[in-house]
């Protein structure tokens, strides 16, 4: 595997960096660091800018509107977005349901949904997890019964990220309870404005309204909105999760997180010296950087395989495990670095909306981000499940 970048790759990096510098909205720069949350319009404004350029769907085939980039170019693009600390491209439409639609969908489904995902007209959410079916997703109980040209869907989904904004959702539902669990599941595309759908907020430990529970009561879904064959939805689910887990690794964003951590540690004092000079804290950062470098090389090997035409395999589980563990360690060390300045931003500490911020600006998000990132080792398939996949598919146990 050649890890060096060609002159063409270097020129591409400069092109991407220049485009971001010239086009990223000023009002979004540093917004999260100032304690504010990204709004729906924040996400969509950057999505539209990238869409107009033709860069919002880096991995899509060109026939559906992708830019035709190599795996290396996609990697460089993600690095530059992280370096500039941009609003992320939400994965639910672009990186998750779209590949399922253009791989398994009908020509009509591709024509109907893909252009609207690309333009940002449709905001998507993911209806996988249920109160009794998270890591053991195949045990899901949301039921879809055939009624002529429709399915009647009843059940509950939970931890549905940003469903309060969603126009559409992709849902796993049980269409046959008489067969093996994985063989009786179908993949449905559901209009979130359909009567019978109720979205209820779940406020996280960090105080954000990011996730929701979704109730479906006698929701009528046209059969034409089923992707792939009836009872073959598990094939779509596995395909989607392999792509999701690769993206969850977040190597480029973690690099940026370590840069911020180093800057904080260089500013915060430990006695009469900066925290970064403390040998114990310095060692923690060094160990983190070593692990991230190893993860990056693993991701590059995966990209090389993708470039050779191989689909994501069990290595996506490895990327998910180590990537999320590293993300959590970054937030842990950041909270440790800001020390008592993080305390006022713990949820439940008290309402300080009318007070001046306590401590430096970089401390505002330390506690909420730490609490929010507790989820990463659970979502996308818990890390315990991923270890089981590796044991079976890689080690043959």
CA dist., res. 269 & res. 385, Å (int): 41
CA dist., res. 384 & res. 58, Å (int): 30
CA dist., res. 225 & res. 184, Å (int): 17
Q: How is residue 380 annotated by DSSP?
A: T
CA dist., res. 134 & res. 198, Å (int): 20
- Is-catalytic flag, 229? no
CA dist., res. 257 & res. 83, Å (int): 10
Point out which residues pair with 153 in neighbouring strands: 144, 219
Q: What is the CA radius of gyration of the chain?
A: 22
CA dist., res. 103 & res. 81, Å (int): 27
CA dist., res. 63 & res. 61, Å (int): 5
360: its two tokens: 């430096």
Q: Quick one: which H or E segment has residue 10?
A: helix 7-23
- Contact of 372 with 346, CB cutoff 8 Å: no
- Contact of 22 with 64, CB cutoff 8 Å: no
**Per annotation, catalytic residue among 79, 213, 244, 299:** 244
Q: How many CB atoms lie within 10 A of CB 178?
A: 6
Closest CA to 294 of 328, 334, 249, 339: 249
Instruction: Enumerate the active-site residues.
Output: 244
């Amino acid at each position: 595997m050649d890890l060096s970048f060609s002159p063409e790759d270097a020129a591409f990096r400069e092109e991407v960096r220049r485009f971001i510098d010239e086009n990223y909205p000023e009002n979004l720069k540093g917004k999260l660091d100032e304690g504010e949350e990204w709004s729906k319009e924040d996400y969509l404004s950057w999505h539209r800018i990238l869409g107009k350029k033709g860069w919002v769907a880096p991995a899509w085939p060109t026939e559906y509107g992708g830019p035709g980039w190599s795996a290396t170019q996609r990697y460089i693009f993600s690095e530059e977005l992280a370096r500039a600390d941009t609003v992320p491209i939400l994965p639910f439409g672009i990186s998750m349901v779209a590949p399922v639609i253009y791989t398994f969908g009908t020509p009509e489904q591709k024509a109907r949904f893909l252009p609207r995902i690309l333009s940002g007209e449709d905001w998507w959410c993911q209806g996988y997890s249920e109160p009794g079916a998270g890591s053991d997703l195949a045990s899901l109980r949301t039921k879809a019964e055939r009624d002529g040209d429709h399915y009647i869907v009843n059940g509950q989904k939970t931890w549905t990220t940003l469903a309060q904004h969603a126009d559409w959702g992709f849902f796993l539902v049980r269409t046959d309870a008489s067969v093996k669990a994985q063989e009786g599941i179908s993949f449905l595309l559901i209009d979130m404005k359909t009567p019978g759908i109720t979205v209820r907020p779940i406020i996280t430990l960090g105080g954000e309204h990011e996730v929701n529970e979704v109730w479906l009561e006698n929701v009528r879904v046209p059969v034409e909105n089923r992707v792939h064959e009836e009872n073959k939805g598990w094939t779509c689910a596995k395909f989607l999760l392999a792509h999701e887990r690769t993206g969850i690794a977040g190597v480029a964003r973690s690099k940026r997180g370590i840069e911020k951590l180093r800057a904080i540690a260089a500013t915060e004092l430990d006695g009469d010296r900066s925290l970064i000079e403390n040998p114990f804290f310095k060692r923690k950062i060094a160990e983190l950087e070593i692990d991230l470098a190893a993860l990056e090389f693993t991701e590059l090997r995966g990209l090389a395989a993708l470039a050779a035409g191989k689909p994501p395999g069990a290595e996506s589980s490895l990327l998910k495990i180590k990537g999320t563990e590293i993300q959590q360690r970054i937030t842990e060390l950041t909270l440790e670095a800001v020390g008592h300045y993080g305390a006022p931003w713990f949820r439940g500490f008290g309402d300080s909306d009318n007070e001046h911020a306590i401590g430096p600006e970089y401390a505002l998000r330390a506690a909420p981000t730490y609490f929010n990132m507790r989820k990463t080792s659970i979502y996308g398939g818990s890390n315990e499940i991923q270890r089981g996949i590796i044991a079976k598919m890689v080690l043959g146990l």
